[in-house]
Amino acid sequence: MTVCRGIRALLVVLLVLGVTLGGLCAVRSSTATFSSSGTTGVRATTDCTQEWLHVYSQDSDPDGLTGYATRSGSSPTVPAATGLDETIAVHLGGFTDTNNITVNRVVTIQAVPAFPVTGITQITTTAYLVADPASGRQPISGCGFAAVGSTNRKSPVNLTAGQKYQLNLRLRLKKLTPDTLYEPSVQIVVTYSGMAETYYRYELPVKIWNGSGPGPD
């Protein structure tokens, strides 16, 4: 994978510079592609998040799966999610001042066919919600994973190699400001047994319009 190879080359340069400067420079790691461990040093991994888990929209689904959530109010109807892995973005469209709206199969997640660390037989995937940064409000009241075709929501879930789940959401817009575009996000965090204070993460930006129609982009 080109991105990962570029990261490996960069890590070699950074490690050599770190030794040469004798600790005068501090190294900060990104949670998406690096990991840190311990209190006396920094350990960078050469794994990328997509070497453990993929996130698919309907257009990028390699299995050709359909039935993904659509953007409410769009005409013609379009899928709510676009992109793949780090490029996934979601626009759920418009909902008018109401609660308990369920939106199923927003995206799917799938563990890779073979994990890059010997002895690992499953990964744990957890969904976290982050509120709209402008208002501090959270229009998503429930978030979790379910087997493809199920309307359940569970987080965390354990996935074996190749296993596929879907992300389901519940929305709560009542008492939020009308005709307002909210932009919360869903973090999908991947861990596995034996990891020490490390994790991998995807961050899915989500747009939700509290009003009629598909809402602004």
d(CA 182, CA 141): 13
Whether 37 has a pLDDT exceeding 80, the answer reads: no
Confidence bin at 15 (pLDDT 50/70/90): very low
Write down the H helix ranges in the chain: 2-21
Between 39 and 68, where is the model more confident?
Answer: 68
Between 27 and 138, where is the model more confident?
Answer: 138
Q: Are residues 34 and 113 in the same domain?
A: no
Domain of residue 9 covers 1-46
Confidence bin at 12 (pLDDT 50/70/90): very low
pLDDT 10s digits, 128-187: 999 999 999 999 999 999 999 999 999 999 999 999 999 999 999 999 999 999 999 999
d(CA 123, CA 134): 33
Between 14 and 213, where is the model more confident?
Answer: 213
* pLDDT given for residue 129 in this prediction: 97
Q: Are residues 10 and 57 in the same domain?
A: no
Q: Are residues 19 and 55 in the same domain?
A: no
* Number of structural domains the chain divides into: 2
